[in-house]
Structure 1
Amino acid sequence: MELPETGNGPELDLDILPVRTTGTGATKYLDSPGNLRPFVCWDHALLNDPRVTEQQKLRYVVDWAQILLKTRSDLDHSRASSSSPASSEHYPSGKLNVTFPPVPGSVAVFSQWLRLPDEVWLSIMSLLPHTHLSSLAQVCRRTHRLAGDHTLWTAVEMRNGALTERWLTWAGGHRPRSVSLYRCSSVSIAPGGLETFFSRCAASLQELNVTSCIGPGLHGNLLLRLIGQWCKRLTNLNVSWSGATDAGLTPLIQNATGLALEAVVLNGCQVTDEALLNLIRTHRKSLSTLEVFGCHLLSSSCLEEVYQLCPGLRHLNIGQVPKVNARCLTRMTSQLRSLLSLNLTGLQAVSDALLDRFLQQCPGLQSLTLSSCPGVSDRTLHSISHRTPHIRSLDVSGCKAVSDAGVRSVALGCRRLQLLDLSSTSAGNRGLAVLADECNEDLQTVKLSFCHVSSENVLRLCRRCKRLKVLHLYGCAQIPSEREIREVHGSVKVEPLP
């Protein structure tokens, strides 16, 4: 294996190593010199090469360990405990040969895993759900110490799980900065259990996201009351679809001394004009994000006052708020000139002319969602290509008047586009072909569900867009086979899988 040299002296290019991408949890260790603790014995040419940096060695070790723990093959175990020296001829195999001291035959293989450095264990543990970490902590003293490492609990997330008071106590005790609970069940949690959680992490919690959870233990009004009582450092609050009402917002506002919210997300909550405006007045100086998707009790006059109170809003979601009218959108256009993302899903008052005026005022817009807006046509896509050439995300799904002409305009004018949703539009093969040729540098997500596209052009998109990660083809009559897609793009996630 030939090791290249750089202008600053010999240094190994990590890209030529036969390693896979490791978990994000390893990043903080890879970027910090001195973090690679040696094994009892290194016996590998790569690890003894002075031109290989410590971070590169650690990345190689982490990848080997992850493969080993995943496959659990006898061959890997034998290599891991082999006492024979490794040679550079083994590099292409993708397996790392590490020499451990001889151990008695009666000693479990797991004892060898315990010899791995803490950095490797922490990187592997960072890939586990937080519910599994609490179980892993009960295995032995070392895993108990490692599973409780603060780096693993900075951002806590649980999806589709059943919460218990014991788990909440465990998680709160690790002082997380961010907590996200999505579609979790809380039927076994009493109000006192949730209060214990907030009391334990009150000094550290900055972001709370509780979305679509069921059970009285995570009801939005209870959450808002306890947040106002305990969480004085909170900046980002999301209680979407939690059943929150004015009865929850009122105590949050009353106990908001010292609280400065930057993001408020109340999607699907039953809040009224008065409660929302009181909240906005309290946090107007710090607020940059407001989402009230589906809050059908809000009026257009309320939103107009919101624009006056917070002209510096950067992210706004007023989709599916049925009382929004043309006057409200016109006021938004004239007052909110710092917006980076806007969601107007399902609003009947949206029109091409109104959007053109808005895009003139917000040339720095990064994300625009116009799903199911009947007044949107190719004219809006032409305006987007001329007014906001640096836009990254565009959703026009359900806009029947959008055709290949509009897609072509966006593809030619918005070369940095990363996400495009054309589902249920009149876009077809001509627009898809131009998209594949002109936006192939950054495009990562394309949704073409219920569009009339051919297998040939779908494969062309996959072949040209090397960064493509997600492709939606629901309801498409012609879908390439999985084998055909994998031949031109090995990692794109196609839904539904052909």
Structure 2
Amino acid sequence: MGQSVSASSSSRPVPPAPPSVDAMPTALDYTEDLPDECLALVFQFLGAAADRKSCSLVCKRWLAVEGRSRLRLSLDARAALIEAAPAIFNRFDAVSQLALRCGRRSDSIDDEALALVAARSPNLASLKLRGCRSVTDAGMTAVARHCPGLRKLSVGSCSFGAKGVDAVLRGCPLLEELSIKRLRGLHDPSATAGLVDGAASLRAVCLKDLYNGQCFAPLIAGSPNLKTLKLIRCSGDWDPLLEDMAARVPGMVEIHLERLQVSDRGLIALSARVDLDFLRLVKTPECTDAGLAAIAEHCPRLRKLHIDGWKAGQIGDDGLAAVARRCAGLQELVLVGVDATIRSLELIASNCGSLERLALCGSDSFGDVEVACIASKCASLKKLCIKACPVSDEGMKALSAGCPKLVKVKVKKCSRVTPESAERLEASREGKLTVSLEAAEDESVMEQQQEEGIIVLEEIGMMENSTVAVDRGAGSSKGRCTARKRPTGGFFASRRNMVTSAIRKWSHGSSSSSTRGVHA
């Protein structure tokens, strides 16, 4: 028996020895033959900024290519940035869009640091400064000297004055967009003398929350190619500027006036010389039906009209009827705090055959009859929002039989609309229509949200560029489109809508994060 065991052991096959490390095949790098330009393009298609950072650490070549191909950069602009800036801009030497932000409780970069950053960014085309309180006019002069190709400048909550902005305008002849918000160095009117009185390259100007902002009026009126002007919560009388622009800026197509001292006098003068495409009047109580009628008379190509009447009653059926008669190509209409009735809405529904987006908020006169009129005559309407209006289930029933192209309806704070009627409206279109219903809030919640300052029309989620800020202590919130709240209705939380919403949020998050840049 022992011999048989020995024979069996001797006949067993011997396993081969494992290969040595030196004999193992080397893994192939299939990107070696890929040109740097193609590799850079791959980096640009990466969705999340974290993915791009992680991939750049694979090897030295990938790190170099990713650094040279990054065009957007966002940095923490605290004082310590001056120490890290050389290393950062050695790697990212092709940046064309730069954002520098500093928190309120931190010491920001100063003129020396900003000059260093500007000197290391010769390709800079867009610069955004937020909270850089230690930067003076000298720092902005350095930007103008080192970045003559700058096309877009946005400054907010900074401490330099008009001389700094003037230096950029003089040193950057290609500047097209200028945004100035909460600039703290405008308190001395004598320091604004001798500013540049026009820039041929400027296409868009935004002034927001400025005291003594009129020092930029000569610049605005003297820029003949200006297309877009936004004036938001700036003190002083702005009618003289609109009158001066009328004769010198004939190509203006977009005007935003919010919480501003402006009246029909300025609107009438401006409308006589320009042909507007987009007009937005928010809480301008001195603007009435007469001013709106003048705009409609001279601007027949008006496509977008946003009005927040602030429940002042200055704009109503007469002004809207004039728009309906003259502006047949109107595509987007947003009315907040405007008591429009069937008299004007019927004209708009009949004459404005291209109307695609409509929002009515805080109107005591917009009820079921008006909804039925829109349903029967607005054949091109795609998106409808009704908020804090006396609409009931009868209005929802009328919508189910009209507006064949309707794809989205939002109803908020309309206590007479039930979830059942919203369900029926959505079911009537067999999956082609999304209906959202939000229940009315109690007074305590509405008052609390109003005091916190809430954004209105952006929360509607339907209109393009439709953000209206609600100021603190603006009076009672009852009947006003003023509060933000997450949807509470149950009928629209079906699985299909939940999946669609998740995909939309995921895609938006990816696209926004891909352009966020590097945070240091």
Q: TM-score, normalised by structure 2?
A: 0.59
- Counterpart position of 2:211: 215
- Counterpart position of 1:268: 259
> Is the CA contact 2:258–2:284 (under 8 Å) kept in the aligned structure 1?
yes
> Judging changes above 3 Å, is the alpha-carbon distance between structure 1 residues 491 and 273 closer, same or farther for their aligned structure 2 residues?
same
Partners of 1:433 and 1:178 in 2: CA distance:
48
Q: Name the SS of the counterpart of 2:348 in structure 1.
A: helix
Is the counterpart of residue 372 in structure 1 residue 362 in structure 2? yes
Partners of 2:407 and 2:191 in 1: CA distance:
45
Partners of 1:243 and 1:137 in 2: CA distance:
30
> Is the CA contact 2:243–2:270 (under 8 Å) kept in the aligned structure 1?
no
> Is the CA contact 2:211–2:235 (under 8 Å) kept in the aligned structure 1?
no
Report the count of equivalent residues.
Answer: 392
Q: CA deviation at 1:187?
A: 4.2
Residue identity opposite 1:168 in structure 2: V
Residue identity opposite 2:306 in structure 1: N
> Judging changes above 3 Å, is the alpha-carbon distance between structure 1 residues 400 and 407 closer, same or farther for their aligned structure 2 residues?
same
- Counterpart position of 2:230: 238
- Counterpart position of 2:329: 338
Residue identity opposite 1:203 in structure 2: A
- Counterpart position of 1:15: none
- Counterpart position of 1:461: 497
CA offsets per residue over residues 442-495 of structure 1, 9 Å max, x none? Answer: x993798376513872765332346645xxxxxxxxxxxxxxxx9x998799xx
Q: CA deviation at 1:195?
A: 6.4
The aligned runs of 1:181-220 (5 Å cut-off) are: 181-182=180-181, 184-188=182-186, 190-191=188-189, 198-199=196-197, 202-211=199-208, 213-216=209-212, 218=213
- Counterpart position of 1:399: 389
Partners of 1:413 and 1:401 in 2: CA distance:
17
- Counterpart position of 1:438: 432
Q: Name the SS of the counterpart of 1:237 in structure 2.
A: strand
The aligned runs of 1:59-78 (5 Å cut-off) are: 59-60=42-43, 63=46, 66-67=49-50
Partners of 1:306 and 1:128 in 2: CA distance:
40
Partners of 2:252 and 2:258 in 1: CA distance:
16
Partners of 2:262 and 2:508 in 1: CA distance:
46
Q: CA deviation at 1:361?
A: 0.8
Match of 2:347 among 357, 365, 368: 357
Q: Name the SS of the counterpart of 1:260 in structure 2.
A: coil
Note the residue ranges of structure 2 that are not aligned, 5 or more in a row. 1-27, 67-82, 103-107, 127-146, 436-458, 463-482, 513-520
Partners of 1:64 and 1:253 in 2: CA distance:
44
Partners of 1:425 and 1:262 in 2: CA distance:
35
> Is the CA contact 1:424–1:448 (under 8 Å) kept in the aligned structure 2?
no
Partners of 1:63 and 1:433 in 2: CA distance:
42
Q: CA deviation at 1:400?
A: 3.5
> Judging changes above 3 Å, is the alpha-carbon distance between structure 1 residues 168 and 490 closer, same or farther for their aligned structure 2 residues?
closer
Greater RCO (Cα-Cα under 8 Å, separation 6 or more):
2
Q: CA deviation at 1:335?
A: 2.7
Residue identity opposite 1:461 in structure 2: N
> Judging changes above 3 Å, is the alpha-carbon distance between structure 1 residues 336 and 203 closer, same or farther for their aligned structure 2 residues?
closer
Q: Name the SS of the counterpart of 1:238 in structure 2.
A: strand
Partners of 1:306 and 1:375 in 2: CA distance:
24
Partners of 2:337 and 2:487 in 1: CA distance:
20
Note the residue ranges of structure 1 that are not aligned, 5 or more in a row. 1-42, 84-95, 101-107, 470-485, 494-498
Q: CA deviation at 1:383?
A: 4.3
Give the percent of matched residue pairs that are identical in Structure 1 and Structure 2: 15
Match of 2:412 among 420, 423, 426: 423
> Is the CA contact 2:386–2:411 (under 8 Å) kept in the aligned structure 1?
yes
Q: CA deviation at 1:179?
A: 1.8
Partners of 1:317 and 1:160 in 2: CA distance:
28
Partners of 2:84 and 2:333 in 1: CA distance:
55
Output the aligned Cα RMSD: 4.9
